[in-house]
Amino acid sequence: MQLTDKNIVVGVSGGIAAYKSADLIRRLKEQGANVRVVMSEGGKAFITPLTLQAVSGNPVSDSLLDPEAEAGMGHIELAKWADLILIAPASADIIARLNAGMANDLLTTICLATAAPIAIAPAMNQQMWHTQVTQNNVDSLQSRGYLVWGPGQGEQACGDVGFGRMLEPTELCSYCVNYFAGANKPGELDGQTWVITAGPTREPMDPVRYISNHSSGKMGFAIALAAQLAGAKVYLIAGPVKLATPTGVERIDVETALQMQEQSMAHAEHADVFVACAAVADYRVAEVASQKIKKSTEQLQLVLEKNPDIVAGVAALENAPFTVGFAAETENVEEYALGKLKKKNLQMICANNVSAPGHGFNSDTNALTIFWSGGSLVLPLTSKQELARQLVGQIAKKFNQSPLDAS
Ligand code: C5P
């Protein structure tokens, strides 16, 4: 019983996955949660309120303007009652309405009126999920602190295959348990300063060209948000990425490795924790041409110069923060990660196999194995947001155990 006395509002919006909501509610109740269900009009087309009333053991709410329901537990009371709102399934429509701040039905109104965390479990056709407007809406909700659990991938009700399946009820129940058990509750990092690097760097060749890599910055941005939500003052040193700044995070935009180094060193001096999530270019062009390089010879030779190792520089500071590196590898992941932990003198290194499907660059999901001197922990494949929450919890745990010597 890991959810004893937790009050969870389960929002059910319109989608075929709504048939799984009944099972989800049962699982939450098995863990001891009190569940109240709020349905959208679309949700009721897929599963009846009577079914969800029976499994939740409470009346189901579906109308903002029903005097009887409002006299029972009104929308503001429900919004205050919740320790967590979980919308499962969350359709593209409700995601868009939440992002726009609409309050045109009971579920969206409760979401606006609550101080509780809100998690969405997206469920929709894979094309609807991938379409730019949905992705923008989800990014925007994430940057405002919404938790996004899923979607999973696989075969869909419409016959398509891809991302868009609602996570299974058992998985969603685990997310809830993890959420409440998480070390990084709001306030956990109060008074701490975290500096996080994210995204690629861009090394110019001439005024119009550069050398870079495929890093999307999503993992670093997710870590910044998770640390901020847990109470830290967060500086996010970001290479060129197209991501919204997480609410409450101070973002410093840079382009090159040298700029990232300058900002990192300046901010790390006063930091408690430094997380180097950026994919820094190992080399820069030695002499950047002042004019566009013209196409003439069959071969063009560029002389590259090694960039400074930013994270190693931070770890070598006299007053070094608790320093965490990343190791994106395609083979011998553990061996290379442990080598970097030692060589760069880090307190922790997060290794991921970027060649595995769903891991790393540009993906919305990732898995990590984190190593520290004398121990390791596997954080299995999940959304980058959830992974960031777990990672921040682990860093906080190690940092709090022994801030000066985490080994
Ligand atoms: O050596 P490698 O690039 O694999 O190490 C990865 C880790 O080192 C990441 O944490 C990355 O942010 C950091 N790094 C850095 N400066 C560099 C290269 C990598 O901070 N020039």
Predicted local confidence at residue 213, as pLDDT: 94
**Is 251 contained in some domain?**
yes
Predicted local confidence at residue 21, as pLDDT: 98
Q: What CATH number is attached to the domain comprising 114?
A: 3.40.50.1950
158 catalytic residue (yes or no): yes
Given a cut of 80, is residue 60 above it in pLDDT? Answer: yes
* Phi, psi dihedral angles at 375 (to 5 degrees): -165, 165
Q: Which residues of 227-264 are buried (b: 16+ CB within 10 A; e: fewer)?
A: bbbbbbbbbbbbbbbebeebeebebbebbbbebbbebb
- Of the three residues 146, 166, 182, the one that is the final residue of a domain is 182
What is the best residue among 219, 260, 261, 310 to mutate for testing ligand 1's pocket, by most ligand atoms within 8 Å of CB? 310
The active-site residue out of 158, 176, 277, 350 is 158
CA of 239 to the centre of ligand 1 (A): 13
What is the best residue among 201, 274, 326 to mutate for testing ligand 1's pocket, by most ligand atoms within 8 Å of CB? 326
d(CA 399, CA 402): 6
CB half-sphere exposure, 405, CA atoms < 13 A: 1
**Is 407 contained in some domain?**
no
Does the CB atom of residue 326 touch ligand 1 within 6 A?
A: yes
Please identify, by atom number, the ligand 1 atom nearest to the C-alpha of residue 312: 20
User: Percentage of the chain surpassing pLDDT 90?
Assistant: 69
**Is the domain of 168 the same as that of 196?**
no
Does the CB atom of residue 348 touch ligand 1 within 6 A?
A: no
Does the CB atom of residue 278 touch ligand 1 within 6 A?
A: yes
CB atoms near residue 384 (< 10 Å): 23
**Is 257 contained in some domain?**
yes
**Is the domain of 225 the same as that of 347?**
yes
**Is the domain of 315 the same as that of 171?**
no
CA pseudo-torsion sign 89, 94, 100, 106? negative
Q: What CATH number is attached to the domain comprising 244?
A: 3.40.50.10300
pLDDT digits 0-9 by tens, 4-17 = 999 999 999 999 99
**Is the domain of 169 the same as that of 208?**
no
CA of 276 to the centre of ligand 1 (A): 7
CA of 326 to the centre of ligand 1 (A): 7
Please identify, by atom number, the ligand 1 atom nearest to the C-alpha of residue 344: 8
**158: containing domain:** 7-182
pLDDT digits 0-9 by tens, 374-406 = 899 999 888 787 889 889 999 999 998 754 444
Predicted local confidence at residue 405, as pLDDT: 43
**Is 1 contained in some domain?**
no
Predicted local confidence at residue 186, as pLDDT: 62
Predicted local confidence at residue 407, as pLDDT: 41
Does the CB atom of residue 311 touch ligand 1 within 6 A?
A: yes
Does the CB atom of residue 276 touch ligand 1 within 6 A?
A: yes
Q: What is this structure's pTM?
A: 0.69
Give first-to-last CA distance, the chain, whole Å. Answer: 34
pLDDT digits 0-9 by tens, 324-374 = 999 988 899 999 999 999 999 999 999 988 877 777 677 778 899 999 998
Q: Using 50, 70 and 90 to split pLDDT, how confident is the model at 319?
A: very high
Task: Please give the full DSSP string across 64-101, using - where no structure is assigned.
Answer: SS-HHHHHHS-HHHHHHH-SEEEEEEE-HHHHHHHHHT
Q: How far is CA 364 from CA 93, 129, 263, 321, 359, in A?
A: 21, 12, 27, 29, 8
Please identify, by atom number, the ligand 1 atom nearest to the C-alpha of residue 257: 21
CA of 405 to the centre of ligand 1 (A): 22
Min mean pLDDT across 12-21, 39-48, 169-178 is at: 169-178
- Of the three residues 121, 150, 182, the one that is the final residue of a domain is 182
257 vs 403, more confident? 257
Does the CB atom of residue 310 touch ligand 1 within 6 A?
A: yes
d(CA 302, CA 237): 28
Does the CB atom of residue 386 touch ligand 1 within 6 A?
A: no
**Is the domain of 127 the same as that of 192?**
no
What is the best residue among 223, 260, 309 to mutate for testing ligand 1's pocket, by most ligand atoms within 8 Å of CB? 309
Find where tokens 């890093």 sit. 215
CA of 397 to the centre of ligand 1 (A): 23
Question: Is 285 within 8 Å of 200 (Cβ atoms)?
Answer: no
Min mean pLDDT across 33-37, 283-287, 361-365 is at: 361-365
Predicted local confidence at residue 404, as pLDDT: 46
Q: Which residues of 107-133 are buried (b: 16+ CB within 10 A; e: fewer)?
A: bbbbbebbebbbbbbbbbbbebbeeee
Does the CB atom of residue 246 touch ligand 1 within 6 A?
A: no
CA of 404 to the centre of ligand 1 (A): 22
**Is the domain of 216 the same as that of 156?**
no
H helix or E strand, kind and range, residue 62: none
**Is the domain of 254 the same as that of 390?**
yes
Predicted local confidence at residue 310, as pLDDT: 98
* Nearest by Cα to 313 from 277, 264, 257, 278: 264
In sequence order, what are the residues at sequence separation of 6 or more whose Cβ sits closer than 8 angstroms to the Cβ of residue 136? none
Does the CB atom of residue 257 touch ligand 1 within 6 A?
A: yes
Find where tokens 């109240």 sit. 36
Predicted local confidence at residue 231, as pLDDT: 86
Over the chain, what is the mean pLDDT? Answer: 91
- Amino acid in position 398: K
Question: Is 254 within 8 Å of 307 (Cβ atoms)?
Answer: no
**Is the domain of 223 the same as that of 355?**
yes
Min mean pLDDT across 77-86, 166-175, 295-304 is at: 166-175
Predicted local confidence at residue 184, as pLDDT: 57
Given a cut of 90, is residue 314 above it in pLDDT? Answer: yes
**Is the domain of 93 the same as that of 233?**
no
- Of the three residues 150, 182, 214, the one that is the final residue of a domain is 182
CA of 214 to the centre of ligand 1 (A): 15
- Report the pLDDT averaged over residues 219-229: 89
How many separate domains does the chain show? 2
How big is the chain, counted in residues? 407
**Is the domain of 103 the same as that of 117?**
yes
Predicted local confidence at residue 183, as pLDDT: 45
Predicted local confidence at residue 182, as pLDDT: 62
Does the CB atom of residue 325 touch ligand 1 within 6 A?
A: yes
**Is 72 contained in some domain?**
yes
**Is the domain of 143 the same as that of 195?**
no
**Is the domain of 29 the same as that of 131?**
yes
Question: Is 3 within 8 Å of 177 (Cβ atoms)?
Answer: yes
What is the best residue among 280, 310, 332 to mutate for testing ligand 1's pocket, by most ligand atoms within 8 Å of CB? 280
Given a cut of 70, is residue 206 above it in pLDDT? Answer: yes
Angle between helices 384-401 and 218-229 (to 10 degrees): 60
**Is 263 contained in some domain?**
yes
**Is 329 contained in some domain?**
yes
Does the CB atom of residue 224 touch ligand 1 within 6 A?
A: no
CA angle, corner 245, sides to 80 and 84, nearest 5? 20
